[in-house]
Amino acid sequence: MAIYRAAAPPEFFQDLRKVSGKRAEGGVYSAQLTAWQMMRQRLDGKGTLSTAVQEVAEGRPQALLRSHKRLKKGTLSPNNGAYCRARKRLGKEVAGEVADRIFNYLIADVAEALPGLGRRAFLLDGSSLDLPATPELLRAYPPAENQYGPAHWPVVRIVVAHDLISGLAMQPIWGPMYGDQAVSEQQLAATGIGQLPAGSVVVGDRNFGVFSTAYDAQQRGYAVIVRLTDARARFLLKGKLPQETDQWVDWTPSRWDRQQHPDLPPDACVRGRVIARRVINRGQIIQLYFFTVLELPPEQIVTLYGYRWNIETDLRSLKQTVHLHSLKGKSLDMVAKELVLGVAAYNLVRGTIFAAARVAGIEPRELSFSRVQDVINACLPSLAAATSPEAYQRVLDRMLRRAAQCKLPHRPHRPSYPRAVWPRRSNFPKRKKT
């Protein structure tokens, strides 16, 4: 709550209302309260509209509730209608601005990715989300199709960038995954890279180890560390694939690159290094090829890329723990608001993890996101009920100490599972389209 009120104070919402020319808000659900409750829904285990309404009816959070006769008399309706209207009334630009302010407030304390690097590094990756099957969403985000016809659920493709050290997430970039207007992860990344803090380092896997990503990052003043496929590394190294190398190359677009990106200038080129290194993972030797514009020792380049797996667990936290795997909004604007405020809720937990790790003198990545979220949900009522700054500080210190104890188990090697699909048992036949 303190982070939210500091990043998005009441004056911020008042200024936005004045700029838009809207009249003063009436009723219980102000824009500040509505944005907070939409984030709280994502952090709550049930996460329904009713849980948010019942919390307000009980007088929480007191710091965001305005003086209103229904709250004083205890006659606030337990129905969801007023809250639903407030969610629709909240502009998606306001939701995006709130998410940006929370991210900028929290990222200000995050240190550089490596000692002496002087830059932050962001992990880049993509995923997909399901949406309700409404006519508006089906037109904007068509479902997948195969030889049996179209599927039922609209699918949206997203690309996210997470800070390498703290796990804080930028606002995602999204678009249709299927249909005539489908966009690739590289196209979305081209838009998302420009939103990163100035001078950041972009770390991506082989899906982003393409000329367009490296060129877009260079044009915007960002450095890249991307893994290359064997074929692309062979192209840059003039047909050779050495086991160990570190050489400067001029990466120019291929004929296929120009077909996919006809707007590239004739002299498009990225000057950088191709680094080949062999690493041992679970007793197996893996050959890796990287492209980077940084003038760091190859060992540090490999170390930075070694953090890339963290974004897989970050995406799991976003989709499963924060419940963003399947959004509930039935309109384009509501989908946008749920998505950006869901990421903002994720960042609030990451901010608590960062504070707890700093108190305990450990790395933020050593703490479990899900367990820290449980600690926060358990302590929020006690924080809200604190009657003095001293009492509030005691509860906050206790919460940070408990959060610092939520350490992940030390696993030198990630468990390996065969790539197989476990079928879900169902007693009912699948519904077929007539």
pLDDT above 80 for 99:
yes
- Is the same domain home to 316 and 343? no
pLDDT in tens, 53-68: 888 888 888 888 877 7
Residue with structure tokens 């795997």? Answer: 325
pLDDT of residue 123: 93
Asked whether residue 34 is domain-assigned, the answer is yes
**Long-range CB contacts (< 8 A, 24+ apart) of 95-99?**
95/35, 95/38, 95/336, 95/337, 95/340, 95/341, 96/171, 96/336, 96/340, 97/8, 97/12, 97/16, 98/7, 98/8, 98/35, 98/340, 98/341, 98/344, 99/171, 99/340, 99/341, 99/343, 99/344, 99/347
When divided into structural domains, the chain yields a total of 3
pLDDT above 90 for 341:
yes
Residue 44 corresponds to which amino acid?
D
Which whole number is the average pLDDT over 338-356?
A: 93
pLDDT above 70 for 422:
no
pLDDT of residue 383: 85
pLDDT of residue 246: 92
pLDDT of residue 389: 87
pLDDT above 70 for 153:
yes
Asked whether residue 279 is domain-assigned, the answer is yes
- Is the same domain home to 226 and 295? yes
Asked whether residue 433 is domain-assigned, the answer is no
Asked whether residue 434 is domain-assigned, the answer is no
pLDDT above 80 for 375:
yes
Nearest in space to 161 (alpha carbons), one of 132, 191, 140, 141? 191
pLDDT above 70 for 24:
no
Which whole number is the average pLDDT over 135-147?
A: 92
Which whole number is the average pLDDT over 166-171?
A: 92
Which pLDDT band, with edges at 50, 70 and 90, does 198 fall under? Answer: confident
Query: What span, in angstroms and rounded, lies between the C-alpha atoms of 341 and 102?
Result: 10
Residue 293 corresponds to which amino acid?
V
pLDDT above 90 for 49:
no
| Tokens coding 48 | 């329904």
Which whole number is the average pLDDT over 83-106?
A: 91
pLDDT of residue 180: 92
pLDDT above 90 for 225:
yes
Strand, coil or helix: 387: coil
pLDDT of residue 423: 67
Which pLDDT band, with edges at 50, 70 and 90, does 168 fall under? Answer: very high
Q: Residue 258 is part of a domain; what is its CATH number? A: 3.90.350.10
Q: Are 185 and 227 in contact (CB under 8 A)?
A: no
- Is the same domain home to 282 and 136? yes
- Is the same domain home to 211 and 305? yes
Query: What span, in angstroms and rounded, lies between the C-alpha atoms of 52 and 35?
Result: 11
Q: Are 384 and 343 in contact (CB under 8 A)?
A: no
Asked whether residue 206 is domain-assigned, the answer is yes
- Is the same domain home to 193 and 316? yes
Asked whether residue 155 is domain-assigned, the answer is yes
- Is the same domain home to 252 and 176? yes
Which whole number is the average pLDDT over 120-142?
A: 93
Query: What span, in angstroms and rounded, lies between the C-alpha atoms of 257 and 209?
Result: 12
pLDDT of residue 414: 63
pLDDT in tens, 12-21: 888 888 777 6
pLDDT above 70 for 412:
no
Q: Which domain holds residue 342?
A: 336-404
Which pLDDT band, with edges at 50, 70 and 90, does 424 fall under? Answer: low
Percent of the chain with pLDDT over 70: 95
Main-chain phi, psi angles of 157, to 5 degrees: -95, 135
- Is the same domain home to 340 and 311? no
pLDDT of residue 415: 64
- Is the same domain home to 158 and 248? yes
